[in-house]
């Protein structure tokens, strides 16, 4: 069966510091991979998606970036965090129409 891992579970970072969130998927090959953010009291906003290694599409212009160095690894990064980057970050993998989410990372930028 497929499993998706995200770490860390929680993170508190000062403004201006870098960010690296990692997501890995097990049990499937060449999945579509996604990064979402849920701001407090709001829905899920798609940030990036990837249909293959090195193929990244950005949905929202911002100071975040994503990379897919391996088939089942997806990384969300920032060089300098903003207060507005606080939120709940979710990685997901896709199989045809459905998407399946990881446990999420709670990021607080102080």
Partner 1 sequence: DQQVKQNSPSLSVQEGRISILNCDYTNSMFDYFLWYKKYPAEGPTFLISISSIKDKNEDGRFTVFLNKSAKHLSLHIVPSQPGDSAVYFCAASVGEYGNKLVFGAGTILRVKS
- Which region among 12-20, 60-68, 70-78, 89-97 touches partner 1 (by CB under 8 A)? 89-97
Residue 62 as a binder of partner 1 (CB under 8 A): the answer is: no
Cβ neighbourhood burial of 32 (10 Å; 0-12, 13-18, 19+): middle
Structure tokens given for 80: 């300098």
- Which region among 13-21, 39-47, 64-72, 79-87 touches partner 1 (by CB under 8 A)? 39-47
Residue corresponding to tokens 């446990």: 103
Residue count (the chain): 110
- Which region among 13-21, 43-51, 62-70, 73-81 touches partner 1 (by CB under 8 A)? 43-51
Residue 59 as a binder of partner 1 (CB under 8 A): the answer is: yes
Between 30 and 79, CB nearer to partner 1: 30
DSSP-assigned states of every residue in 42-81? S-EEEEEEEEETTEEEESS-SSEEEEEEETTEEEEEESS-
- Point out which residues bind partner 1 (CB under 8 A): 6, 32, 34, 42-46, 49-51, 57, 59, 88, 90, 92, 94, 96-104, 106
């Amino acid at each position: 069966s497929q499993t998706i891992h995200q770490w860390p579970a929680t993170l508190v970072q000062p403004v201006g510091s870098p960010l690296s969130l990692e997501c890995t998927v097990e049990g499937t090959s060449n999945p579509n991979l996604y990064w979402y953010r849920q701001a407090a009291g709001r829905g899920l906003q798609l940030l990036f998606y990837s249909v293959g290694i090195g193929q990244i599409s950005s949905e929202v212009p911002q100071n975040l970036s994503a990379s897919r160095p391996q088939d089942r690894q997806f990384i969300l990064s920032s060089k300098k965090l903003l207060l507005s980057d606080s939120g709940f970050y979710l990685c997901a993998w896709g199989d045809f129409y459905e998407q399946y989410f990881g446990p999420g990372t709670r990021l607080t930028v102080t």
